[in-house]
Amino acid sequence: MTIKYTEDHEWVSIEGDVATFGITNHAQEQLGELVFVELPEVGSQVSKGGEAAVVESVKAASDVYAPVTGEVIATNEDLSTEPTKVNEEPETNGWLVKIKMSDASELDGMLDAEAYSKLIG
């Protein structure tokens, strides 16, 4: 399993042709306590850089962008009743969406943990 990060503060875990993603710990700290998470429909298509989900906190609503292009094969249903899972475990059980990637080369420009750590400094 490989984990990559985007400059938009999303993490992506890659296993085969499936990318699981969510927002980073840094992003959830900036947002504050989440009160609502809107996820895409399973079976829908998402495009890299396009809106894939919305997270709403007591401070603001923020779009979460798809890190890769592909088909949504699963969403984290627990978040409909427990959106704070994203705050508590953003990079594990607080995942948002699983995408079957259509082009794995889209991962090439993403950051590794060290580069992401430098980004958020």
pLDDT tens-digit series, residues 23-36: 999 999 999 999 99
Q: What domains lie within the chain, and their CATH numbers?
A: 2-105 (2.40.50.100)
pLDDT tens-digit series, residues 57-109: 998 899 999 999 999 999 999 999 999 999 999 999 999 999 999 999 999 99
Asked if pLDDT for residue 1 goes beyond 90, the answer is no
Mean pLDDT of 48-60: 95
**pTM (predicted TM-score):** 0.95
Q: What is the pLDDT, as a whole number, of residue 7? A: 94
> 88 in helix, strand or coil?
helix
Q: What is the pLDDT, as a whole number, of residue 41? A: 97
Listed residue (33, 43, 12) closest to 112, CA to CA: 12
The phi and psi torsions of 18 (rounded to 5 degrees) equal -110, 130
Q: What is the pLDDT, as a whole number, of residue 113? A: 95
Listed residue (107, 110, 23, 3) closest to 65, CA to CA: 23
